[in-house]
Amino acid sequence: MAQPSAPTPTPALLLRPAAVFDGETLHPGWAVLTEGDKIKAVGPAAQLPAPAGARTVELPGLTLLPGLIEGHSHLLLHPYNETSWNDQVLQESEALRVARATAHARATLEAGFTTVRDLGSEGAGYADVGLKQAIDRGLIPGPRMVVATRALVATGSYGPKLAAGFVVPQGAQEADGVDGIIRAVREQIGRGADVIKVYADYRWGANEPSRPTFTQDELNLIVQTARSSGRPVVAHASTPEGMRRATLAGVQTIEHGDAGTPEVFKLMKQRGVALCPTVAAGDATSRYRGWRKGQDPEPERIQQKKQTMKAALQSGVDLAYGGDVGVFAHGDNLREAELLIQEYGFTSLQTLRGFTAGNARIFQLPDRGRIQPGLLADLVAVAGDPTKDIKTLRQVRLVVKGGVVVKE
C-alpha cells in the first residue's frame, strides 16, 4: 500500500492481449505498455518490446480495454428489495452505510468499473467525499469517484415523507431562492462536490406523478454558481417541463428522462445536453413492485420508457451510460448495457464505446476512457471480444488501476 510520505515506484507493465479495444475500435495483435500510473505506449505487439524492469503480462485470448466508467451510481445505497430507500435514509446509521459502501466500492472495481460518477449520498451527508479519499489514499480498493455529495432539492419536494407533523431528515439538501441556493451550492462545493446534482422534478406527494420543482431562475442560478467554480450540474428529471428547464439552464446531463418528448430531446441536442437513461433502474424497481418479468405483461412505466427511448434515439441526443446502480446490486453495473442491447436495440460496440470513451467525453474526464499514451493506465481484460458480445464483461480477468494490478 503506497504511503504518501514514501511513494513506491509502480513497475512498468507490458500487457500482451489478443486484441486491444481503445475506446473506439478493436485492434487485434496490439499490446499496451504502462509507466507509473499512465499509459506509455500502445500499438502492434512487435513494436513494443519490454523495457528493462517491466513486468510482462501475457493475456492470450483476452481483449484489453479501458476501465469502464459508470455514469450513475450511489455507492451509499443498496438494493431497495433488501431495504427500502426510506428505511435506508431514516434507519441506517451513517457508519453502517459507509461500511457497506466500502464493500460496494470493491465490487464495482472488480467488475471492471474503474471510475464512477456517484450522484448523491441520499441522506449520508458528505460520506461520499470521505469514501473517495479512502480510495485515493489506497486504504480501501475502489473506483475513482466523481462525487455529488448531498444533491439539491426544492423544499418539500423530496423524501422521506412521513405524517405532516413530523420533521424527518431528507435524502438531499433543501434549498430555495437566490440566497439559499447560492449558499447550498457553494457549501457542497467547499465540502468536496465534483459535480452538483439537482432534482428538477419529483413526486411532491406519495401518490402523484412527478412535477417540476425548481423554477427556471433557480435552476439557472444553480448552474451559474457551480459553473463559476468549474463544476458541471446534472439534473434528475423525468417530466418534459423539468427536462426543458434543466436543459435551458445548461446542465451537463439529464438523468432518467422517462417522459421525454421529441421536442425536449431536440432541445437537449441543440443545447448539447446528454441523456443518461438509466433503464436498469426502472427495470429493477418494477420487479421489486412485483413484476414477474417474462411472465407478466410489461408495466406501463417500461412501455413508456421504450417509447421515449425511441424518440431519444431518433432525435440524435447524446447518450451517457449509467444504470443508477445502488437501486440494484453494486458490481452488477453491466446490467444497464445488457438491457440496452436486449431490449432497446443497442449494439455491444455502441454500449462499450459509451461506457468508456463516450462517458469520459461527456463527463469531461479527458485523462481516461481510452487507451492512448498519456492517459491513466486504467485497464480491464476479458476473454473473447466484448465489441461483439458484451456478456464477456461478466468475466473480468484482470483489472489495472493507475498502472497497478488490482485484480488478476
Residue type, 350: Q
Interaction pattern, residues 321-360, with Zn ion; x per rule: CB under 5 A: ---x------------------------------------
- Closer residue to Zn ion (CB): 22 or 324: 324
Residue type, 124: A
Residue type, 102: T
- Closer residue to Zn ion (CB): 128 or 324: 324
Q: How far is the CB of 408 from Zn ion (least distance, A)?
A: 32
**Residue pair 182/227 in contact by the 8 Å Cβ criterion:** no
Cis before 160 (ω within 30)? yes
Q: For residue 199, what are the β-bridge partners?
A: 236
Q: How far is the CB of 275 from Zn ion (least distance, A)?
A: 14
- SS3 of residue 287 by DSSP: helix
List the 196-199 sheet strands across, edge first: 173-174, 152-153, 196-199, 233-237, 253-256, 274-276
- Chain positions 39 to 58 lying near Zn ion, rule: CB under 5 A, are none
- Closer residue to Zn ion (CB): 57 or 107: 107
**Residue pair 361/353 in contact by the 8 Å Cβ criterion:** no
Q: How far is the CB of 164 from Zn ion (least distance, A)?
A: 27
Q: How far is the CB of 325 from Zn ion (least distance, A)?
A: 9
Q: How far is the CB of 77 from Zn ion (least distance, A)?
A: 8
Q: How far is the CB of 365 from Zn ion (least distance, A)?
A: 19
Interaction pattern, residues 186-225, with Zn ion; x per rule: CB under 5 A: ----------------------------------------
- Closer residue to Zn ion (CB): 80 or 291: 80
- Chain positions 298 to 327 lying near Zn ion, rule: CB under 5 A, are 324
Q: How far is the CB of 324 from Zn ion (least distance, A)?
A: 4
**Residue pair 114/405 in contact by the 8 Å Cβ criterion:** no
CA 79, CA 329: separation in Å to the nearest integer? 6
Nearest to 378 by CA among 137, 115, 136: 115
Q: Does 70 bind Zn ion (CB under 5 A)?
A: no
Q: How far is the CB of 377 from Zn ion (least distance, A)?
A: 29
- Closer residue to Zn ion (CB): 213 or 348: 213
Nearest residue relative to Zn ion (C-beta):
324
Q: How far is the CB of 236 from Zn ion (least distance, A)?
A: 7
Element (H, E) at 73: strand 68-73
- Closer residue to Zn ion (CB): 324 or 336: 324
User: Does the CA dihedral 360-363-366-368 come out positive or negative?
Assistant: negative
- Closer residue to Zn ion (CB): 324 or 338: 324
- Closer residue to Zn ion (CB): 129 or 148: 148
**Residue pair 42/373 in contact by the 8 Å Cβ criterion:** yes
Torsion-angle region of 279 (φ positive above 0: left; ψ -120 to 50: alpha; else: beta): alpha
- Closer residue to Zn ion (CB): 80 or 346: 80
CA 188, CA 177: separation in Å to the nearest integer? 16
Whole-angstrom Cα Rg for the chain: 21
CA 394, CA 55: separation in Å to the nearest integer? 26
Binding-site size for Zn ion (CB under 5 A) equals: 1
Contact positions toward Zn ion, by CB under 5 A? 324
